[in-house]
Amino acid sequence: MRRDVLTRALGSAPRFAVVPGGNMSSLDPGVPQATQLPLLDRMVGMVVLGEDDPTWLQHKIGFKNLRHVHHYLEAARWARLIDEDAIRPTNLGRRYVSSRFEPHAILEGARGRALVEEVTRVLGGDVPTPNVVASVLRRWSFRYSQGTVTSRDEATDTQLRLPLKEVA
């Protein structure tokens, strides 16, 4: 890749967008890939009930691939609903389930995450629109394909739009 193209692309991204020595955005791990909130709710509910085996979760929820279980576990970790190091609920995760999946718990858990803070900053108090997360993702990582941006936009939008609308 030409240096001037790379420099221009990085100039429009946040200073911390590229991992030194690599080509992945340092923010990639913080962008959840779980796109269906009812499945996330079901996953967190099962973890709160004591389930900690990914294979069992895969069969119980009906995922065709174990990779999907990991996407939903990572999304739950991103929202701080389950522990970072193990498949066990946090206090927020327990509260989320006992509140019958009140969406404000996800927003509460995601506060401080780079993506949420940037989306909130871009919104400036406005009601979220479907393209806000996608625009933030495009600025963070110029290497995303349109399909990846769309997928991650849908995933994050699923988890954030309702609580952000109610806050705005």
Q: Which of 133, 87, 92 is nearest to 110 (CA)?
A: 92
pLDDT over 90 at 161, yes or no: no
The pLDDT tens digits for 20-55 are 333 334 444 456 677 788 889 999 999 999 999 999
**CA 39/CA 136 separation, integer angstroms:** 25
Q: What is the pLDDT of residue 100?
A: 92
User: Read out DSSP for 49-101?
Assistant: TT---HHHHHHHHT-SSHHHHHHHHHHHHHTTSB-SSSS-B-HHHHHHHHTTS
Both tokens assigned to 81? 């609903």
Average pLDDT taken over every residue of the chain: 74
The pLDDT tens digits for 74-122 are 889 988 999 999 999 999 999 999 999 988 888 888 888 877 787 778 8
Q: What is the pTM of this model?
A: 0.69
